[in-house]
Amino acid sequence: MRYWLMKSEPSEYSIDDLARDGGVAWFGVRNYQARNFMRDQMQVGDGVLFYHSTCAEPGIAGLAEVATPAYPDATQFDAEGKYFDPKATPENPRWFNVEVKFVRKTRLIPLSELREAPELATMRILAKGNRLSITPVDPDEWNFIQRLF
């Protein structure tokens, strides 16, 4: 089992939306490294820290779980959509997504609190210049964060 942090802008899709829907396809990722995490490493049952980004108070807002293996992201084929990729074809897709399912909403653990914890000093989300929407989480980091809820 692996653990992941997945960022979502709450104005686009929040932990409350995930709680309402029960699950969602994590579509629209257009970074090769994040895509590779989904396509090559994520497995059904992996734990997910659902992170609110690009908002007044960014931070971990809840828990989710990887619910499906990776499959081609349909939005890459929609010529009218904002995630369209003219180089992608159904025979040779470039972009993939997984589905995540809601586990539970937690108290918001703000980015500032994460930065203060020495136990999280090497967490990828805290690395200078990190802008990836999906990052792996070390099991020790996962366990420490679970105690913060």
Helix (H, G, I), strand (E, B) or coil at 77: helix
Domain limits at 65? 3-148
Closest CA to 125 of 117, 110, 136, 116: 136
Total domains in the fold of the chain? 1
pLDDT value at position 129? 83
Question: Which positions of the chain have pLDDT values less than 50?
Answer: none
Closest CA to 142 of 115, 112, 120: 120
pLDDT value at position 131? 84
**What CATH number corresponds to the domain at position 138?**
3.10.590.10
- This prediction's pTM: 0.95
Q: Report the C-alpha gap between 149 and 146 in whole angstroms.
A: 6
pLDDT value at position 3? 98
pLDDT value at position 48? 98
Contact, 6 vs 34, CB < 8 A?
A: no
pLDDT value at position 128? 86
pLDDT value at position 69? 98
